[in-house]
Amino acid sequence: MSTLFTNYARRSVHLVRGEGTRVYDDNNKAYLDFTSGIAVVSLGHAHPSIVDAVKKQSEKLWHTSNLFESPEQEMLAKTLMKGTPFSRAFFCNSGAEANEAAIKLARKHTGKQVIITFEQSFHGRTFGAMSATGQEKVKFGFGPMLETFRTIPFNDSRALEAAVDEDVAAIMLEVIQGEGGVNTITPEFASKIQEICMANGILCIVDEVQTGIGRTGSKYAYEHTVLQPDIMTLAKGLGGGFPIGAMLGHEKLAESFGPGTHGTTFGGNPLAVAVAQTVVDYVFEEEFLSEVERKSTYLMEKLKDSLANNHIEILGKGLLIGIRCTDEVTPIISIAEEEGLLLVQAGPNVIRLLPPLTVSEQEIDEAIALLTTSMRVPSQ
């Protein structure tokens, strides 16, 4: 009997080691990791630069709390904010926590309560983030939710217009809904959100916990749209496997998070910040990002060719890719795992591909061969 709560439906593989795109189980069986620990290990496993950053910082200083000033946090913030509308940062430990900070900041700044969110969205498992999430299965049994989230259909401009009134503090969205099925915002809907926010003084919050830090081929996914967000949240890929989250905000919001308003003990501790700085410096190189774009095009084209006879649709952007199938994809994911390819779902019918951003063309070829085989094996 397990000593752990069974809140995760765990697969029966015990991974013990990783290098680049490959991970190995306790029988030394190799797998191509096209999950990246759910969009986290963006530079692959045991990347030498990250290992080095951990070693160096772990011998100097691990933790101080936020009682003291931190030029290291300032520097990471500056790197993250370059070329964005943001000029303030708050560091925390996870995506849900970054979203909690965003919800609190939006309420405090506007003095209003309502936040509009979207069906199929995912914002995390804490009470505020769960209430914001547009998926019933996430909330089931935990009610009542916080009441002031208005959750409406995604990419539906009329529903959005109908949901706006003077009580609305913010609109909170994922530019690509990662967990909810790799659903991308339409250009029309992005324009509508931007227009409504501008006209009504409503804040725009982009949750880039999954899409940020190079995952879609640009630093942040909102850059592919006309959105000019006031707040952005990050986590997952930011630490390359080390837990860290961040909320970035526009200068006009600075006063609403004055001394004593919000905080967290571990947030932005020296070890986490040293690792994140290494990851971000690496990923934000222009050449690195254009490589991600190139590999994305290569992967998507090859997928279309290889799966041309299947009834599928390819979704997503950069290296956040979905394959929408007509049936449940769980059996395919199990077969792929036996074949040595790790994949993750996004909703019942979508296979999600999230390779490390450092994946090679050869590894892409290998993964597609394994995937094609797995999709050919008839499921019972």
Binding site for ligand PLP (CB under 6 A): 94-96, 99, 122-124, 174, 178-179, 207, 209-210, 235-236
Q: Is 186 annotated as a binding residue?
A: no
Q: Is 125 annotated as a binding residue?
A: yes
Strand pairing report for 344-345 and 15-19: unpaired
Q: Is 13 annotated as a binding residue?
A: no
Residues 197, 1: Cα–Cα separation, whole Å: 52
CB of 312 vs ligand PLP, minimal distance in Å: 23
Q: Is 118 annotated as a binding residue?
A: no
CB of 174 vs ligand PLP, minimal distance in Å: 5
- 297 and 312 Cβ atoms separated by less than 8 Å: no
Nearer to ligand PLP, 8 or 140 (CB): 8
- Using CB positions, name the residue nearest to ligand PLP: 95
β-strand partners of 314 = 323
Residues 224, 98: Cα–Cα separation, whole Å: 22
Nearer to ligand PLP, 44 or 237 (CB): 237
Cis amide bond preceding 144, omega within 30: yes
Q: Pick the closest to residue 159 from 147, 174, 171 (CA basis).
A: 171
Locus of tokens 């994949």: 343
Q: Is 22 annotated as a binding residue?
A: no
| 52 membership: H or E segment, kind and range | helix 48-60
DSSP one-letter code for 309: T
Nearer to ligand PLP, 20 or 212 (CB): 212
Residues 232, 82: Cα–Cα separation, whole Å: 13
CB of 27 vs ligand PLP, minimal distance in Å: 29
CB of 253 vs ligand PLP, minimal distance in Å: 20
CB of 203 vs ligand PLP, minimal distance in Å: 17
Query: Which whole-number Å values give the CA distances from 271 to 24, 111, 170, 291, 350, in the listed order?
Result: 26, 36, 33, 28, 36
Nearer to ligand PLP, 204 or 368 (CB): 204
Residues 15, 24: Cα–Cα separation, whole Å: 6
CB of 94 vs ligand PLP, minimal distance in Å: 3
Q: Is 126 annotated as a binding residue?
A: no
Strand pairing report for 344-345 and 350-353: antiparallel
Residues 323, 303: Cα–Cα separation, whole Å: 9
Q: Is 122 annotated as a binding residue?
A: yes
Query: Which whole-number Å values give the CA distances from 15 to 25, 44, 363, in the listed order?
Result: 4, 15, 19
Q: Is 210 annotated as a binding residue?
A: yes
Q: Is 215 annotated as a binding residue?
A: no
Nearer to ligand PLP, 89 or 370 (CB): 89
Nearer to ligand PLP, 103 or 307 (CB): 103
CB of 264 vs ligand PLP, minimal distance in Å: 13
Nearer to ligand PLP, 20 or 322 (CB): 322
Residues at the annotated binding site?
A: 95-96, 122, 125, 207-210, 264-265
Residues at the annotated binding site for pyridoxal 5'-phosphate?
A: 95-96, 122, 207-210, 265
Residues at the annotated binding site for N(2)-acetyl-L-ornithine?
A: 125, 264
